[in-house]
Structure formats: structure tokens, C-alpha cells
Amino acid sequence: MPDQRAPGGPLDEPDPTRRQPPADEHEPTGWGDGITWYTAEPGRGRGRAGVSAARARPQRRLGLLIAAVAVAFALLTGAGVVRHISNAGASDPTASGGVLQQPLAGVPSAPASSAGVAPAPVDVAAVAAKVIPAVAYITVENGYTSGGGSATGIVLTADGYVLTNHHVIDGATSISATLVSDGRTYAAQVEGYDSRRDIALIKLQGAGGLPTAAIGDASELAVGDVVVGAGNAGGAGGAPTVVAGVVLGLDRQIVARDGAGGAQLLSGLIHTDADVRSGHSGGPLADADGEVIGVMTAASVASPHGPDASDTDGFAVPIDTAMAVVAQIRAGDDSGTVHVGETAFLGVQTVDVGQVPSGYADHGAVVTAVVPGSPAEGAGLAAGDVVTAVDGAAVTSAEALGALIVEYRPGDTVTVSWIDASGAARSAQVELAAGPAR
């Protein structure tokens, strides 16, 4: 996940400068708890309070996405920090030129398991050498907010399908990927994503003959197994930073948060003690055979001191989960929580009515900014207006407006209803444009 957060902007989402209440009963009801969120550089990060989960977002300083850990034993004390890991780490000093050239001295060998028993010996450098050729560094920009960031991706096919986290590309209007294997950079487009599972699939334009990752089976993992990760820690490029650890738990659940005050429930995760860092978001987590068994997505820090804090636990989406999403996207199956293709865009930034009372509406999304040249501007929406409905469906909050818009396609025409600053009820037919993933 990128280590930098993308500055918030009018992206049909709640204004990130205003604190938003939990979106549903699964999100934390207390905010802050002394926990700092770091989000990845690329997209617009939708975080949640509590833990820094490493998620990539356009240039905000996307660090690890800190998430409030809610593992099997319900550790919701505020002491754990899970963050999305983007570009906040440092490159490994034993590799150079962006391509692994020698064994990674200093990379931890198989650590002791939670039971205090050393796992079978694992050559971490050999595992890293198998994984690194299929690593891509992802850079994202947000043309509406001048934000951007960088994180990591996993090359799945020779013609350029790359797996990463949804939070890495969330809010991005421009995406590029640089191959660690040879330094080539490609423009990329979003093929689809699943925000609930924090998975996205992008396609490198004009790519061919790329080295690909060996995909393993996460269902074969057991507590105590050694795992190895690699990625763009710190977001500075260069040689991938390699981390190693053991599996501490399976099927874990966390609440991930970012600097915008948002939170997201992630479940079914692999929990390790690998020292994942900002920028690792979207990077591969491999088993002892060098097969990818997870996609790094978040890290917990007991005492966060910034995106490079150490003593972290890492969380990864099992590769089986990720590949199921990939298969659905490639099949064009836009259903459930999976979105395929471009994202519809209205072009407003909003907050809940309760945060900026309008005096004319008791529900809706108060517009705080309108993107120049957007469908919203063309319809006559302006700051201070309160959006109350889309195609007759009531808008109950800023988050609800975004959820309604994302159900449409670019080119769809919808009726937007609002109350203007004078208290007059207005509506207009609006043709939605193509906008950033969200």
C-alpha cells in the first residue's frame, strides 16, 4: 500500500477533512483511541479509526493502513495499530538497482513459532529471489486533488494483469506500474475491484512476456509456518524490501482505519509477525516454496511512531480470496461486492447534514466542493446545496450518496434532487462521467 495519503477531494465521497460517524454497526463507535492511521500514497483512502492498515492512496502520504485489530480474541483496546503499508519504508541495503543481485544478508531466518518451537529451516533469500521478479511498483495520481502515492502489485499474467489492494487504487485518476525485473514502466487501467475484500485488478497497457508469480494455496497454511513478503517499502523504488515472519493466526478480522477517519471491516485475513511497512500494500506474501499465498494489506503497531514504525504484525488477504475476485472480474461478473470496469462519477465532495446544518433539510449530503467541469457542476450544484435523492432513492448521508452513485455506470443518466442554499427544492437530469475507482 502506498505510504502516502492522497489529499481528499470532490470524489463523490465524504469530505475527508470532516470526521464522519461509523458507516454501519460493524465499524468502531469510538474514534481516536490514541491510534494514528497511515495510508498508502496512491488513492483516496477510506480508513477506519483504530489501526493503521497499509492501504495505498493517491499522494497523501500513504503509509500503512492502521486498523483496530479485532482478531479472534477481540483485541479492540486501541493498543494495536494496523495500517496499510505503502511507500514509507526503506529499501533493503543488500540489493540494488531494483533487481535482486545477491542473497539478502540480514533478512531474518525462520523465527520461532508462537509455541516457541523453531519451524523447519527456510532460505528466506531463496524465497525472495523467486518472488521478486513478479513484483511491480504501482504509482497513482489523483488529477482532481493533485494527490498521489506508490505501493506494490503482483504480476499474474505475461500480458500484464496485476493484482494489488483496492485501497491502493482508490481515488486514482492515473495509474502506472514499474516492473522490478527490468525497470520498464507501463500505463495501467483498473479492470475491477472489490472494496470489501480490499482487492483490485489492473492491466498494464501494451505489456507482454512479463515474469509472473507462482500462485500457492492459502488453505494449506498453518500457524507457525514461515512466510516471506516483498514490496516497495517507503515508496522510493529501488530494490524491494524483504520481510519474513511466521503465521500467528488465520481467518483473522480487523477494523482498518486511515487518516481520513474512515474505517473498514476486513475478515478472513492471514496474521503474521512479519515487519511489513508502508508501501508494502498489494505486495506478495509467499510460503517457503516461493508461492504467493497472500496479498499484504495492513500492519498493526503497538506504539505507532509514524509510517516506518517497527515491531509490527502484518495482515494479508489470502490468495484464494484474491484470485476468486480476479476470476470474477475477468469474467465480467459485476455482482455482489465486485465492481467491473469504470466507476460512475458525479463530482461532489460532501459531509452529513448533521455536521453542517443547512436549516432546510434534516437528511442528505451537504456539498462542500464541486469538481470543475464535472456532471455536478453542469447540473448547477454548488457548495452549500444538500443532495437529498438520486433517482428517487433517499440520500441519508454523505456515504450513502457515494454508495448510490457507484451502482451506476459512466454514461447513465440519473435524476439528482437537492435543496439549494436558499431553501428551494431543485432537481436535474445528470449524465454521469467516468471517474476514479472508489
At 357-384, the pLDDT tens digits run 667 788 899 999 999 999 999 999 999 9
- Cα-Cα-Cα-Cα dihedral sign, residues 36, 40, 42, 45: negative
Active site residue 84: no
Grid cell locating 178: 514499474
Pick from 435, 272, 286: nearest CA to 346: 435
Strands 348-352 and 13-14: parallel
25: Cβ contacts below 8 Å, ≥ 6 apart: none
Q: Which of 166, 167, 271, 339 is catalytic?
A: 167
What is the value of pTM for the model shown? 0.76
Pinpoint the residues of the chain covered by CATH 2.30.42.10. Answer: 343-435
Q: How far is CA 57 from CA 251, 259, 368, in A?
A: 25, 11, 21
State residue 261's pLDDT score. 61
Q: φ, ψ for residue 102 (rounded to 5)? A: -155, 165
Q: Which of 3, 92, 198, 313 is catalytic?
A: 198
Least confident among 42-46, 108-112, 326-330: 42-46
**Residue that is written with C-alpha cell 485501497 in the block:** 167
Per-residue pLDDT at 199 exceeds 90 = yes
State residue 21's pLDDT score. 41
Q: What is the fold, at CATH topology level, of the domain defined by 343-435?
A: Pdz3 Domain (2.30.42)
Pinpoint the residues of the chain covered by CATH 2.40.10.120. Answer: 1-340
| Residue 79, Ramachandran bin (φ over 0: left; ψ between -120 and 50: alpha; else beta) | alpha
Residue 139 pLDDT grade (very low, low, confident, very high; cuts 50, 70, 90): very high
Separation of alpha carbons 55 and 230, rounded Å: 15
Number of residues that make up the chain = 438
CATH of domain 1-340: 2.40.10.120
Q: Which of 281, 300, 374, 397 is catalytic?
A: 281
Higher pLDDT: 26 or 196? It is 196
If you average pLDDT over residues 246-264, what whole number do you get? 82
Grid cell locating 390: 438520486
Percent of the chain at pLDDT exceeding 90:
54
Per-residue pLDDT at 302 exceeds 70 = no
State residue 39's pLDDT score. 27
263: Cβ contacts below 8 Å, ≥ 6 apart: 22, 23, 27, 28, 47, 48, 49, 50, 67, 68, 255, 256, 257
Per-residue pLDDT at 242 exceeds 50 = yes
At 91-121, the pLDDT tens digits run 222 222 222 222 333 344 555 554 455 666 8
Active site residue 198: yes
State residue 91's pLDDT score. 27
Least confident among 58-72, 212-226, 286-300: 58-72
Active site residue 281: yes
Least confident among 52-56, 116-120, 295-299, 327-331: 52-56
Q: How far is CA 413 from CA 280, 290, 428, in A?
A: 39, 48, 10
State residue 58's pLDDT score. 32
Residue 409 pLDDT grade (very low, low, confident, very high; cuts 50, 70, 90): very high
Work out the mean pLDDT of the chain and round it to a whole number.
76
Least confident among 25-34, 55-64, 231-240, 248-257: 25-34
State residue 425's pLDDT score. 94
CB 62 within 8 A of CB 56: yes
State residue 117's pLDDT score. 57
Q: How far is CA 209 from CA 155, 160, 161, 324, in A?
A: 11, 8, 12, 24
State residue 36's pLDDT score. 23
Per-residue pLDDT at 57 exceeds 80 = no
Higher pLDDT: 321 or 310? It is 321
Residue 70 pLDDT grade (very low, low, confident, very high; cuts 50, 70, 90): very low
